Amino acid sequence: MLLRAEARGLPTFWLDIVVKRDGKLKDLDRLLRRTWVECCGHLSEFSTGTHRKVSMNTKVSEALGPGDRLGYVYDFGSSTELVVRLLGGVNAPSKSTIRLAARNEAPTWPCDACRKAATAVCPQCLYEGKGFCCATHATDHDCGEDILLPVVNSPRMGVCGYTGEA
């Protein structure tokens, strides 16, 4: 099965995932954590369109049919929310139960001060949609350089202690 995972409200960030029919949601959870969201072992959960929780032991093929949307929340404090849907079937023999097939190219974010590509982001300013710093301007950011987090290709950029793929 070919799945598309997207950040809720942020379609810039997407992953295409190939999973075997007997793959489980916990396999998908593991891949999403590894690729996109894991910072410090928060709880995560899948839910149906009607917000009913779906067990991690459910097979992906049972949880997701054509037209369905599966919600995913990582961290119930500073949540990262994703939506997963079925794109179709693929004939792709593979040893692994689940693997990443494609993903969005890393977006670039301009530094607030000089518009050069940012390398760091401030988790406090990010709430207001700003806080991007290039290497030069990171050193004189108002909130302090110590709290800055790296710019990474993930919807969890700048949240909690997220620093990218482990």
Which parts of this chain interact with Zn ion (CB under 5 A)?
A: 39-40, 111, 113-114, 122, 124-125, 131, 134, 137, 143, 160
The answer to whether the beta carbons of residues 157 and 12 sit under 8 Å apart is no
Q: How far apart are the first and last CA of the chain?
A: 26
Shortest distance in whole angstroms from residue 51 CB to Zn ion:
23
Percent helix / strand / coil, the chain, rounded to 5: 15, 30, 50
For Zn ion, the closer of residues 105 and 128 by Cβ is 128
For Zn ion, the closer of residues 24 and 156 by Cβ is 156
Shortest distance in whole angstroms from residue 32 CB to Zn ion:
14
For Zn ion, the closer of residues 40 and 43 by Cβ is 40
For Zn ion, the closer of residues 40 and 65 by Cβ is 40
CA distance readout (Å), 135 to 88, 104, 123, 147: 42, 24, 16, 14
How far apart are alpha carbons 28 and 22 in whole angstroms? Answer: 12
Shortest distance in whole angstroms from residue 70 CB to Zn ion:
23
Shortest distance in whole angstroms from residue 132 CB to Zn ion:
8
Three-state DSSP at 12 gives strand
How far apart are alpha carbons 163 and 157 in whole angstroms? Answer: 7
Shortest distance in whole angstroms from residue 29 CB to Zn ion:
16
For Zn ion, the closer of residues 40 and 166 by Cβ is 40
